[in-house]
């Protein structure tokens, strides 16, 4: 989960995602609309009997605040909340497992803020079942073959992996750029990602306001997307002054065609 504003636990319930699937929360910065929902969500997990640890990645100033809330409101919690302080000024890998790395993306907002870049690791190749059947490859070898091994038949003939498999799907990448003013070099860090979320609080009609409050316009978000050659751009964090965000979408599309407005509950493929 990236960011956790007030009401996140209600949205999570509506989305029908099982609460137990959530292992980590990444907080981009300590404004209320990005973190006020965490303590309520943790409390609810506690009441539902969660036992698996929950990892929280956030700017270090959040640790004493969260700990104070946990001590007061969540006595006897039966799972660990493990806090990981994030340096918002560095582009670092802060998480890695078998299938994924997660990097911080330094951003420029009124307070320390970073984005997060999720990179899938190279994925296994697809078995060509007709060929493995034909060469009578035993089931226990299929994982090795997915991972690129050739197959040697009992007669000693080597079958090249390329004959037994088709190429893996390309690994996917998703970059989430939370509240930030326009950063002309940001495209270097998010180059080539499949999906880029970039805030666009305003359209260009409010460019000076965007500068004042350290936010971005739709044109600026789309410029990052274009310069980074991303697959698609998701726009969000719209100012309440726009009753209809079509102007934001239109402005972005003029710079980067594959732009989309996000909204509560919408689902996008990465």
Tell me the catalytic residues. Answer: 33
Bridge partners, 191 (sequence order): none
x/- binding map, residues 127-166, to its own copies, per CB under 8 A? Answer: ----------------------------------------
- Running DSSP on this structure, what letter comes out for residue 168? P
Find the shortest distance in angstroms from Cβ 39 to its own copies: 6
CB of 43 to its own copies, least distance (A): 5
Is 224 buried (19+), middle (13-18) or exposed (0-12) by CB count in 10 A?
buried
Question: Based on CB atoms, which residue is closest to its own copies, 37 or 115?
Answer: 37
* Residue 61 half-sphere exposure toward CB, CA atoms < 13 A: 9
198 is in an annotated binding site: no
Instruction: For the CB of residue 113, give the shortest distance to its own copies in the complex, in Å.
Output: 15
Q: For residue 228, with 0-12 CB atoms within 10 Å meaning exposed, 13-18 middle and 19 or more buried, which class applies?
A: buried
Q: How far is the CB of 62 from its own copies (least distance, A)?
A: 9
Q: How many CA atoms lie within 13 A of 84 on its CB side?
A: 16
Residue 72 is a binding residue for its own copies (CB under 8 A):
yes
Per-residue interface string for the shown chain with its own copies, residues 5-44, x marking contact by CB under 8 A: -xx-xx-------------------xxx---xx-xx--x-
Nearest to 127 by CA among 170, 169, 166: 166
CA distance 109 to 214: 5
Q: Directed axis angle between helix 62-73 and helix 38-47, to 10°?
A: 40
- Decide if residue 61 touches its own copies (CB under 8 A): yes
Per CB under 8 A, 191 contacts its own copies: no
CA torsion sign, 79 to 59 to 57 to 221?
A: positive
59 contributes a contact to its own copies by CB under 8 A:
no
* For its own copies, the closer CB: 67 or 246: 67
Please tell me whether 71 is known to bind a ligand.
no
Q: Is 34 annotated as a binding residue?
A: yes
100-106 and 114-120 beta bridge pairing: antiparallel
Cα first-last separation, the chain: 15
215 is in an annotated binding site: no
Stretch that binds its own copies, among 2-10, 50-58, 160-168, 229-237 (CB under 8 A): 2-10
CB nearer its own copies, residue 29 or residue 232 = 29
Residues that bind its own copies (CB under 8 A): 6-7, 9-10, 30-32, 36-37, 39-40, 43, 61, 65, 68-69, 72-73
Extract the annotated binding site for Zn(2+). Answer: 29, 31, 33-34, 109, 179, 237
């Amino acid at each position: 989960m990236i960011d956790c504003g007030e009401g996140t636990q209600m949205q999570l319930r509506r989305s029908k995602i099982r609460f137990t699937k959530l292992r980590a929360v990444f907080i981009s910065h300590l404004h209320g609309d990005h973190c006020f929902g965490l303590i309520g969500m943790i409390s609810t997990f506690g009441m539902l009997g969660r036992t698996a640890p929950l990892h929280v990645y956030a700017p270090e100033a959040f640790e004493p605040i969260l700990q104070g809330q946990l001590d007061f409101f969540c006595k006897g919690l039966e799972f660990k909340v493990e806090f990981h302080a994030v340096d918002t000024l560095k582009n670092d890998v802060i998480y890695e497992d078998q299938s994924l790395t997660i990097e911080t993306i330094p951003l420029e907002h009124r307070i320390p803020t970073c984005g997060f870049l999720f990179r899938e690791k190279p994925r296994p190749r697809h078995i060509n079942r007709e060929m493995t059947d034909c060469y009578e490859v035993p089931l226990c070898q299929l994982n090795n073959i997915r991972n690129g091994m050739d197959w040697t038949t009992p007669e000693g003939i080597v079958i090249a992996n390329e004959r037994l498999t088709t190429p893996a799907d390309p690994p996917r990448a998703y970059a989430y750029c939370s509240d930030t003013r326009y950063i002309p070099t940001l495209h270097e860090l998010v180059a080539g990602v499949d999906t880029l979320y970039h805030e666009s609080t305003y359209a260009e009609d409010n460019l000076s306001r965007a500068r004042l409050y350290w936010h971005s316009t739709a044109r600026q978000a789309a410029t990052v997307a274009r310069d980074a050659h991303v697959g698609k751009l998701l726009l969000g964090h719209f100012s309440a002054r726009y009753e209809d965000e079509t102007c934001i979408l239109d402005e972005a599309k003029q710079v980067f065609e594959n732009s989309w407005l996000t909204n509560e509950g919408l689902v996008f493929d990465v």
